[in-house]
């Protein structure tokens, strides 16, 4: 009794010490994941809102195995939508409902990584790996993204832990079933989650080659494990087999594989090498998930990672070490087989394994020092210094450098979010944005809790709005901040010069900046929007509007004697023909519209302008709507720019323009009305001369 008591006491002290350390690590991880929650990153990314829209579909009773979105996207796995739906119901529209799952998944990854490290190796590996996950840039970023892929790290860690329990310990049937079900959940979470299933398959291959005795001893449990996972994955597998859109998505993500099957293997090989080198070389180039091109690991952790890889290769006959290696390799496959090189989201299956290898390398360094008679305190202090260095650099990168990066600001619409934060509640606020109908409204709604209908959303490169009423109005122009000049220009919010000139001298112009002196947005203010609106209307030059029952009558239309009223609640006031830009074989036109009826809900309306010849034959057209329908208030005036590229070889002469409104989903035009009578579905503008 006297001999066993001290050993039992020491074991109990170690157990309590481990729990205390893990608790402190969890507290650290939680604080880092919720600190500066609304400002890191500074806005939201459109995929986050699309994920939430699927959650709302679940709340509406639309239960699916695979969710589809508009815009040609091939679909999304269902697990996130079903887990997020109750959060949307409880929290409403805000950042917590958008990202709480990611925070929870990121925090849950910490103890699960500890448990895997402790089970495969020892408690020191588990604690060091948990600490690395709690403070490292990659896991922290994944905890701030409301995307389904962030569910994969805890699921893959739990799947590997349960697999190891099935393989190495006497296991009851319910552990076997649980292990199979958890493995299948990775596939239901994210397409890249199938890499966890690939890791398990590779590990079984390893056991079949070098540990057949273990396989034979566990054949019954492993058989039921495989059957459970296979049956659970069968419904989703049938979706991929039977639904072309889902299948196309898989094909879209692996074009390099298709090229390799046609004999062009060099691009695939180069991509694989780039992904493998991303631990210490050039990393993910997108500001969504990374500071562009920053390695996955800082130098100190990368050195420990390579030590861990080396020792795992050296000890390849012990199953725990190859399991860690195949976990990392399989987790990298979604990025390695896809275009674009390293991608921190696609590689997310390998996240827990990466930091387990870091912890393994650190532990091995301390253990090896004893064999060469170096005091353990020396490598222990060295490892502690490397971890402390990594912690401060990773935390600094996450809170300071990542949100300030131009690409991060671009993808998360930070400049728009900054403008929304500064908007007063009085007067009318107007925002120029490349996405007036959806994304920009979502950013404001989720980050600021503002009703998007209270803001005039328009695309300043093609339209400008003059709000109804009198008093103060403001126009905000968020800055384009991407480091890619072409991308920033393509999604610019800046006014088209001819539209910006309509503000004239009736506004004051100011700029707002981020703390690093980068421009966030420009805004214009008027205290008399009624006078400014009237001044803009004086720039119309073509007010002799007419109507024709059909296209053939455009040569001899009937005059309206005033503005053109459409039954859906819009009036065309007039037009202005612009002098074509230098080198442009085109017609450029401004159409002046007035809103008569508000539409509080988004409706698929569009405005068209068409060029016809003397016989009424269609030559060229242009249709779009750049003032969001749910922003309309009766009395608003908006001016929209149309550019018609003239057909090659068009003969000089007189041509005719017709304009109107239609529903682009049903392709039904609005009716042109006069004194309660339907005149047709088009307005005929004064003829134009083509030189």
> What pLDDT does 571 receive?
97
Specify whether the CB–CB gap between 182 and 159 falls below 8 A.
yes
Summarize pLDDT for 23-45 with one digit per residue, the tens: 999 999 999 999 999 999 999 99
Helix H or strand E segment including 225: helix 219-242
Specify whether the CB–CB gap between 551 and 616 falls below 8 A.
yes
> What pLDDT does 513 receive?
96
- 265: phi then psi, degrees, rounded to nearest 5: -90, -10
> What pLDDT does 553 receive?
86
Specify whether the CB–CB gap between 53 and 44 falls below 8 A.
no
Summarize pLDDT for 52-71 with one digit per residue, the tens: 999 999 999 999 999 886 55
Q: For the residues 241-267, what does the mean pLDDT come to?
A: 79
> What pLDDT does 7 receive?
73
> What pLDDT does 74 receive?
62
Specify whether the CB–CB gap between 558 and 547 falls below 8 A.
yes
Q: Is the predicted pLDDT of residue 12 greater than 80, yes or no?
A: no
Which residue, 404, 398, 397, 300, is CA-closest to 358? 300
Q: Is the predicted pLDDT of residue 365 greater than 80, yes or no?
A: yes
> What pLDDT does 1 receive?
43
> What pLDDT does 486 receive?
78
Spell out the residues 6+ positions from residue 155 whose beta carbon is closer than 8 angstroms to its own: 182, 185, 186, 189, 193, 196
DSSP 4-47: HHHHHHHHHHHHHHHHHHHHHHHHHHHHHHHTTTTTSSSS--HH
- Give the three-state DSSP class for 691: coil
Q: Is the predicted pLDDT of residue 487 greater than 90, yes or no?
A: no
Greatest C-alpha distance within the chain = 114
Q: What confidence category does residue 264 fall into, taking pLDDT thresholds of 50, 70 and 90? A: confident
- Give the whole-angstrom CA distance, residue 257 versus residue 267: 9
Residue reference for tokens 């299933």:
197
Structure tokens at 165: 């329990």
Specify whether the CB–CB gap between 66 and 243 falls below 8 A.
yes
* Average per-residue pLDDT for the chain: 92
> What pLDDT does 294 receive?
97
Summarize pLDDT for 313-344 with one digit per residue, the tens: 999 999 999 999 999 999 999 999 988 899 99
Q: What confidence category does residue 141 fall into, taking pLDDT thresholds of 50, 70 and 90? A: very high
> What pLDDT does 70 receive?
56
- Give the whole-angstrom CA distance, residue 560 versus residue 678: 12
Higher pLDDT, 485 or 669: 669
User: Among 134-138, 212-216, 220-224, 245-249, whose mean pLDDT is lowest?
Assistant: 245-249
Spell out the residues 6+ positions from residue 373 whose beta carbon is closer than 8 angstroms to its own: none
Q: Are strands 564-566 and 558-559 parallel, antiparallel or unpaired?
A: unpaired
- Give the whole-angstrom CA distance, residue 463 versus residue 41: 30
- 136-145, 377-386, 472-481, 489-498 — most confident range: 136-145
Q: Is the predicted pLDDT of residue 375 greater than 50, yes or no?
A: yes
> What pLDDT does 4 receive?
53
Q: For the residues 223-243, what does the mean pLDDT come to?
A: 94
Structure tokens at 24: 């402190």
Q: How far apart are the first and last CA of the chain?
A: 109
DSSP state of 579: P
> What pLDDT does 73 receive?
55
Spell out the residues 6+ positions from residue 206 whose beta carbon is closer than 8 angstroms to its own: 319, 322, 323, 326
Higher pLDDT, 414 or 73: 414
- 417: phi then psi, degrees, rounded to nearest 5: -60, -40
- Give the three-state DSSP class for 252: helix
Angle between the N-to-C axes of helices 320-336 and 194-210, in degrees from 0 to 180, rounded to the nearest 10 = 140
Structure tokens at 577: 């023909």
Spell out the residues 6+ positions from residue 482 whose beta carbon is closer than 8 angstroms to its own: 406, 407, 410, 488, 491
């Amino acid at each position: 009794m006297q001999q066993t008591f001290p050993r039992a006491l020491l074991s109990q002290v170690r157990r309590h010490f481990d729990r205390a350390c893990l608790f402190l690590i969890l507290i650290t991880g939680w604080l880092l994941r919720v600190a500066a929650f609304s400002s890191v990153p500074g806005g939201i990314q459109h995929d986050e809102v699309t994920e939430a829209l699927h959650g709302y579909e679940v709340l509406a009773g639309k239960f699916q195995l695979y969710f589809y979105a508009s815009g040609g996207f091939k679909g999304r796995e269902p697990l996130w939508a079903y887990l997020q739906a109750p959060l949307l119901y409880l929290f409403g529209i805000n950042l917590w409902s958008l990202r709480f799952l990611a925070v929870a998944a990121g925090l849950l990854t910490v103890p699960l990584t500890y448990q895997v490290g402790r089970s495969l190796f020892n408690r020191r590996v588990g604690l060091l790996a948990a600490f690395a996950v709690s403070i490292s840039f990659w896991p922290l970023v994944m905890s701030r993204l409301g995307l389904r892929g962030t569910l994969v790290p805890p699921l893959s860690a739990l799947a590997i832990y349960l697999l190891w329990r099935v393989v190495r310990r006497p296991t009851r049937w319910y552990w076997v079933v649980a292990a199979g079900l958890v493995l299948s959940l990775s596939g239901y979470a994210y397409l890249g989650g199938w890499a966890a299933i690939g890791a398990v398959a590779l590990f079984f291959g390893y056991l079949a080659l070098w540990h057949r005795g273990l396989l034979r001893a566990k054949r019954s449990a492993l058989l039921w494990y495989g059957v459970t996972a296979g049956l659970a994955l069968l419904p989703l597998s049938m979706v991929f087999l039977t639904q072309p859109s889902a299948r196309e998505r898989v094909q879209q993500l692996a074009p390099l594989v298709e090229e390799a099957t046609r004999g062009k293997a060099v691009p695939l090989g180069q991509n694989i090498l780039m992904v493998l080198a991303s631990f210490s070389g050039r990393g993910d180039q997108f500001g969504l998930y990374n500071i562009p091109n920053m390695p996955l690991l800082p130098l100190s952790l990368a050195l420990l990672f390579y030590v861990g890889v080396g020792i795992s290769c050296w000890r390849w006959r012990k199953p725990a070490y190859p399991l860690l290696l195949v976990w990392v390799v399989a987790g990298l496959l979604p990025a390695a087989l896809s275009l674009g090189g390293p991608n921190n989201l696609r590689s997310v299956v390998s996240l827990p394994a990466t930091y387990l290898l870091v912890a393994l390398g650190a532990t091995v360094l301390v253990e090896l020092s004893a064999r060469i008679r170096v005091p353990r305190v020396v490598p222990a202090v060295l490892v502690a210094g490397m971890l402390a260095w990594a912690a401060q650099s990773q935390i600094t990168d996450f809170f300071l450098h990542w949100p300030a990066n131009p690409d991060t600001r671009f993808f998360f619409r930070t400049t728009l979010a900054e403008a929304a934060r500064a908007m007063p509640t009085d007067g009318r606020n107007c925002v120029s944005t490349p996405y007036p109908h959806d994304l920009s409204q979502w950013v404001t709604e989720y980050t600021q809790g503002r009703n998007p209908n209270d803001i005039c959303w328009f695309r300043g490169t093609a339209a400008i709005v003059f709000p109804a009423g009198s008093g103060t109005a403001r126009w905000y122009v968020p800055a384009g901040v991407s480091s890619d000049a072409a991308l920033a220009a393509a999604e610019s919010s800046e006014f088209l010069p001819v539209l910006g000139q309509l503000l004239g001298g009736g506004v004051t112009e100011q700029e707002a900046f981020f703390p690093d002196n980068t421009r966030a947005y420009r805004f214009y203010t008027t205290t008399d929007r009624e006078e400014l609106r009237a001044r803009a209307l004086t720039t119309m030059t073509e007010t002799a509007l007419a109507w024709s029952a059909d296209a053939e009558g455009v040569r001899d239309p009937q005059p309206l004697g005033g503005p053109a009223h459409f039954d859906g609640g819009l009036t065309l006031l007039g037009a202005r023909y612009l002098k074509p830009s230098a080198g442009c074989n085109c017609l450029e036109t401004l159409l002046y519209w007035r809103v008569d009826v508000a539409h509080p809900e988004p409706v698929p309306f569009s405005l068209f302008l068409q060029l016809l010849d003397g016989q009424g034959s269609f030559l060229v057209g242009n249709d779009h709507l750049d003032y969001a329908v749910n922003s309309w208030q009766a009395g608003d005036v908006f001016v929209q720019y149309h550019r018609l590229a003239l057909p090659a070889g068009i003969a000089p002469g007189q041509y005719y323009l017709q304009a109107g409104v239609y529903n682009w989903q049903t392709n039904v035009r609005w009716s042109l009305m006069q004194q309660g009578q339907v005149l047709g579905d088009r307005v005929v503008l004064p003829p134009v001369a083509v030189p």
